[in-house]
Chains A and B, each alone.
Chain A
Amino acid sequence: MRLLFGSSALAMGVVLGAGTALAVDLTVVSWGGAYTASQQKAYHDPYMAANPDVKIINDDSAAEGLAKLRAQVESGNVTWDLVDMVASDAITACDEGLIEEIDPDSMLAAAPDGTPASQDFFAGTLTPGGTNCFIPQIVYSTTFGYRTDAFEGEQPSTIADVFDLEKFPGRRALEKKPIGNLEWALIADGVPGEQVYEVLNTEEGVDRAFAKLDTIKESVVWWTKGAQPPQLLADGEVVIASAYNGRLFSAIAEKNQPIAMLWDWQVFDLDGWVIPKGTPNKDAVLEYLMFATDTQRLADQAKFISYGPARYSSGPLVGNHADLGIDMKPHMPTNEANAKTILNFDYVWWADHRAELDERFNAWLAK
């Protein structure tokens, strides 16, 4: 009896010992809400099911990701293993030496047909602004939604309509940032989309953009958080609002609000993963990333949220919404019908001019 007990205790000890030796807790920082939920269902749950040793813990502080990451790395106390960031923040973090560099072909899975990762992710998305620390997951767009009950007859369909208060009276909601708004103002003022940054590069071009914004300034509600513009539209506070396309989709398809999309000159941006420098679990993170950024996983995420996967090979695999059952393809910003006119952020230009234009924009707002 005693012998039996002893040996089973020993066996138990071995099992426990083996368990603790392999078990890893990965702290993954993301945006919370519907977005984290989509990652949980598309990436985390299947990965944890296949790897019982790994436990993924969600941390919803991506909104302060950059500042907290810098504080962690500077103090040498890195507790995050993987962080979800927009591309412009990833450029900053990479410049500051806060995140690990990525070698796509050795660290990321190839497409099912064998195309290496560096060729399968959308061109240029692995190296925003010339940095190489970023693994894109989704293409999201900042675009416009309008209330379908606000205008009789013709509905707004172009950026010029957004700036046309006579044809489409009512308040607008815009993000409280110069990025995006200056570009749209110029396009509304007649500058061809391809020449926006050329024009912005001159003092007169910036003046011209602000002059165009002046024409609607008194009718604009400025938002700072992504949840605000769909709410403003739903409340009838504004009739046209710029917003992240996923938020608009959720207001339209999931909450049945009288809102429609205006895709003209939507601004493409990227959101993806970065690995904090000094994470103690780097190997486990890389193993997870190999799985979570492969073709099928990126396509799966689009079942839960209307953002476009950042791989060429994922596009055709995008299927129906998991709960609503509707085909997600027409709701993707990357869909051909929606992407007739698109604007890509010039990250390099903004890195040079962000500080001075932020000041000018805020001085302009306060006037």
Chain B
Amino acid sequence: MMAHELTTADGVPLRISLERALLRSRIRAALLVVPLMAFLLFAFILPIFDMLYRSVENTIVAQVLPETVIALQDWDETGDALPDEAVFKTAVADIQAAFKAKTLGRLARRLNYEKPGMASLLRKSGRRSLRITEAPWSEQLIKIDRKWGDINIWRLIKRESDHLTESYFLAAVDMRLDDLGAVNWQPENRQIYLQLFWKTVWMSGLITILCLLLGYPVAFLLATLPLRTSNLLMVLVLLPFWTSLLVRTTSWIALLQTEGVLNDLMVVVGLISDDGRLQMIHNKIGTFVAMTHILLPFMILPLYSVMKTIPPSYMRAARSLGATPFTAFVRVYLPNTVSGIGAGSILVFILSIGYYITPALVGGRTGTFISNFIASHVSETLNWGLAAALGVILLALVLALYLLYDRIVGIDNMKLG
């Protein structure tokens, strides 16, 4: 047997030698991709997960009030007695240490998300706590601010002493924990995020449909006209695509505002009176118009690339077999473009759901999206936990819709070009 196996010059069986050579080339190929993979991992995937983790991360209470958190473990928060003197003593010591280490401010901001008033309570208590050097601890702390005699303050500190918290996610769906730790709806006049998610989804859906209705005929023209004319048309599609987003958005403001071009024109023509100028911007209409215009190329381009591959003979064949133009279109042409419709729609929808500059500028008070609030929590209120929780929900929503799309249309059918 051995004698029959082919070997290389140095006696290694050919099969093994071949495998080694293939492995080497595979490793070499993998090495070429390594830089990109490493870049993606460190510049994209890890930061995203780090940001997402902030939606549940909650180490601050245990960091700033370490001894108090331990002392509170034996306290029964369901009863109606304040923690005992020993807890107050450790709390005073923790607050004093935190004030000196300048970490009290961060704790104040964190707890204020849960209970308005905690910020000023902690800030006020920081410097003044230095005066307390001996018993009675509780009496003196309550003298600084009588809120320290409120049992709910202590319940809050104990509740938020875990390293993970659900409160950002609860806040992101308009809920909160009450003083006893039970999940409740926010008061009605503070509920905002659920309806924003819903508004973002349905408005994005409608924008997608508008893009499809407007983009389909354009893509059809592009694909069927003679090359010279279609190239010119293509430039008209691409030109706005290359123009700055802000420029396009502000041009819509100039066109649509009540003293703007369109209203002026309608007044001159006599369609509307000077007092009856239409409000077409700073509301939902503004968002629909501007977003549809901005996202239109993302619908036209995939549609065009698919339509380009459909031989004109198909339609001719259908007509010659007796189909009306409408039947030929519905039964022959349209089914052939489904992959383009799918690609364009999912592209426009996902882009639209995450847009924030355009809705912020033209949306007014009714046409803004959830992403506007994520942006404001990141850059203005610095509540990154809530921003992350809202982001996670948005990401989950997009993934769910993507899976739904895969189930109905099939992701293999998608064509981007």
Q: Which residues of B, 207-246, contact A by the 8 Å Cβ criterion?
A: none
| Closest chain A residue, CB of each to CB of B118 | A352
Question: A95-B105, A363-B190 are contacts. A355–B383 as well, Cβ < 8 Å?
Answer: yes
The verdict on A366 contacting chain B, using a C-beta distance below 8 Å, is: yes
**CB <8 Å contact, B191 and A363:** yes
The verdict on A41 contacting chain B, using a C-beta distance below 8 Å, is: no
Q: B373 — which chain A residues lie within 8 A by C-beta?
A: 362
**CB <8 Å contact, B379 and A64:** yes
B280 vs chain A, min Cβ distance (A): 12
- A180 to B258 CA separation, bound complex (whole angstroms): 27
Q: Which residues of A, 63-112, contact B by the 8 Å Cβ criterion?
A: 63-64, 66-67, 70, 92, 94-97
**CB <8 Å contact, A366 and B366:** yes
Question: A94-B105, A96-B106 are contacts. A351–B120 as well, Cβ < 8 Å?
Answer: yes
Q: B109 — which chain A residues lie within 8 A by C-beta?
A: 92, 95-96
A118 vs chain B, min Cβ distance (A): 18
- A348 to B123 CA separation, bound complex (whole angstroms): 9
Question: A366-B365, A366-B366 are contacts. A237–B258 as well, Cβ < 8 Å?
Answer: yes
Q: A353 — which chain B residues lie within 8 A by C-beta?
A: 116-117
A229 vs chain B, min Cβ distance (A): 13
A-B contact pairs, 17 of them (CB 8 A): A66-B382, A67-B378, A96-B109, A97-B106, A176-B365, A221-B364, A235-B257, A352-B120, A355-B113, A355-B383, A358-B381, A359-B190, A359-B192, A363-B189, A366-B195, A366-B199, A366-B366
- A130 to B104 CA separation, bound complex (whole angstroms): 13
The verdict on A197 contacting chain B, using a C-beta distance below 8 Å, is: no
**CB <8 Å contact, B196 and A366:** yes
**CB <8 Å contact, B120 and A70:** no
Q: A67 — which chain B residues lie within 8 A by C-beta?
A: 378-380, 382
Question: What string of 1s and 0s marks CB contacts (under 8 Å) between B177-193 and chain A?
Answer: 00000000010011110
Q: A237 — which chain B residues lie within 8 A by C-beta?
A: 257-259
Q: A66 — which chain B residues lie within 8 A by C-beta?
A: 379-380, 382
Q: A220 — which chain B residues lie within 8 A by C-beta?
A: 365
**CB <8 Å contact, B120 and A348:** yes
A99 vs chain B, min Cβ distance (A): 11
A127 vs chain B, min Cβ distance (A): 12
B105 vs chain A, min Cβ distance (A): 3
The verdict on A236 contacting chain B, using a C-beta distance below 8 Å, is: yes
The verdict on A360 contacting chain B, using a C-beta distance below 8 Å, is: yes
- A358 to B379 CA separation, bound complex (whole angstroms): 14
**CB <8 Å contact, B189 and A95:** no
Binding site for A on B (CB under 8 A): 102-103, 105-106, 108-109, 112-113, 116-120, 123, 186, 189-192, 195-196, 199, 257-260, 282, 360, 364-366, 373, 378-383
Given contacts A95-B108, A96-B382, 8 further A-B contacts (CB under 8 A): A63-B379, A66-B382, A224-B360, A237-B257, A352-B112, A354-B381, A355-B381, A362-B192
Question: A95-B105, A96-B106 are contacts. A236–B112 as well, Cβ < 8 Å?
Answer: no
Question: A66-B380, A355-B381, A365-B365 are contacts. A222–B282 as well, Cβ < 8 Å?
Answer: yes
Question: A224-B360, A236-B259 are contacts. A97–B379 as well, Cβ < 8 Å?
Answer: no
- A316 to B23 CA separation, bound complex (whole angstroms): 82
| Closest chain B residue, CB of each to CB of A65 | B379
**CB <8 Å contact, B116 and A356:** yes
| Closest chain A residue, CB of each to CB of B257 | A237
The verdict on A364 contacting chain B, using a C-beta distance below 8 Å, is: yes
B287 vs chain A, min Cβ distance (A): 13
- A363 to B259 CA separation, bound complex (whole angstroms): 29
**CB <8 Å contact, A130 and B190:** no
| Closest chain A residue, CB of each to CB of B379 | A67
Question: A67-B379, A95-B106, A95-B109 are contacts. A356–B190 as well, Cβ < 8 Å?
Answer: yes
A96 vs chain B, min Cβ distance (A): 5
Q: A351 — which chain B residues lie within 8 A by C-beta?
A: 108, 112, 119-120, 123
Q: Which residues of A, 146-185, contact B by the 8 Å Cβ criterion?
A: 171, 176
Q: Which residues of A, 128-148, contact B by the 8 Å Cβ criterion?
A: 129-131
| Closest chain B residue, CB of each to CB of A92 | B382
**CB <8 Å contact, A222 and B364:** yes
A204 vs chain B, min Cβ distance (A): 13
Q: A222 — which chain B residues lie within 8 A by C-beta?
A: 282, 364-365
| Closest chain B residue, CB of each to CB of A225 | B361
- A64 to B120 CA separation, bound complex (whole angstroms): 25
Q: A360 — which chain B residues lie within 8 A by C-beta?
A: 189-190
| Closest chain A residue, CB of each to CB of B188 | A363
B115 vs chain A, min Cβ distance (A): 9
A238 vs chain B, min Cβ distance (A): 9
A36 vs chain B, min Cβ distance (A): 19
A60 vs chain B, min Cβ distance (A): 15
Q: B195 — which chain A residues lie within 8 A by C-beta?
A: 366
B254 vs chain A, min Cβ distance (A): 8
Q: A358 — which chain B residues lie within 8 A by C-beta?
A: 381
Q: Which residues of A, 314-335, contact B by the 8 Å Cβ criterion?
A: none
A97 CB contact (under 8 Å) in B103, B117, B380, B381: B103
6 nearest A-B residue pairs (beta carbon)? A95-B105, A67-B379, A365-B365, A359-B190, A363-B192, A236-B259
Question: A352-B116, A353-B116, A366-B365 are contacts. A359–B186 as well, Cβ < 8 Å?
Answer: yes
Q: A221 — which chain B residues lie within 8 A by C-beta?
A: 282, 364
- A176 to B378 CA separation, bound complex (whole angstroms): 17
Most A CB contacts (10 A, CB to CB) among B108, B192, B195, B199 go to B192
Q: A356 — which chain B residues lie within 8 A by C-beta?
A: 116, 190
Q: B116 — which chain A residues lie within 8 A by C-beta?
A: 352-353, 355-356
A216 vs chain B, min Cβ distance (A): 13
**CB <8 Å contact, A130 and B123:** yes
Q: A70 — which chain B residues lie within 8 A by C-beta?
A: 382
- A220 to B108 CA separation, bound complex (whole angstroms): 35
Q: A97 — which chain B residues lie within 8 A by C-beta?
A: 102-103, 105-106
B394 vs chain A, min Cβ distance (A): 17
A251 vs chain B, min Cβ distance (A): 16
- A276 to B191 CA separation, bound complex (whole angstroms): 36
Q: Which residues of A, 188-245, contact B by the 8 Å Cβ criterion?
A: 220-222, 224, 235-237
- A64 to B382 CA separation, bound complex (whole angstroms): 10
Q: A359 — which chain B residues lie within 8 A by C-beta?
A: 186, 190, 192
- A237 to B278 CA separation, bound complex (whole angstroms): 12
- A64 to B360 CA separation, bound complex (whole angstroms): 16
- A237 to B366 CA separation, bound complex (whole angstroms): 18
Q: A64 — which chain B residues lie within 8 A by C-beta?
A: 379
Q: B366 — which chain A residues lie within 8 A by C-beta?
A: 365-366
Q: B120 — which chain A residues lie within 8 A by C-beta?
A: 348-349, 351-352
Q: B106 — which chain A residues lie within 8 A by C-beta?
A: 95-97
B296 vs chain A, min Cβ distance (A): 26
- A97 to B195 CA separation, bound complex (whole angstroms): 35
**CB <8 Å contact, A235 and B259:** yes
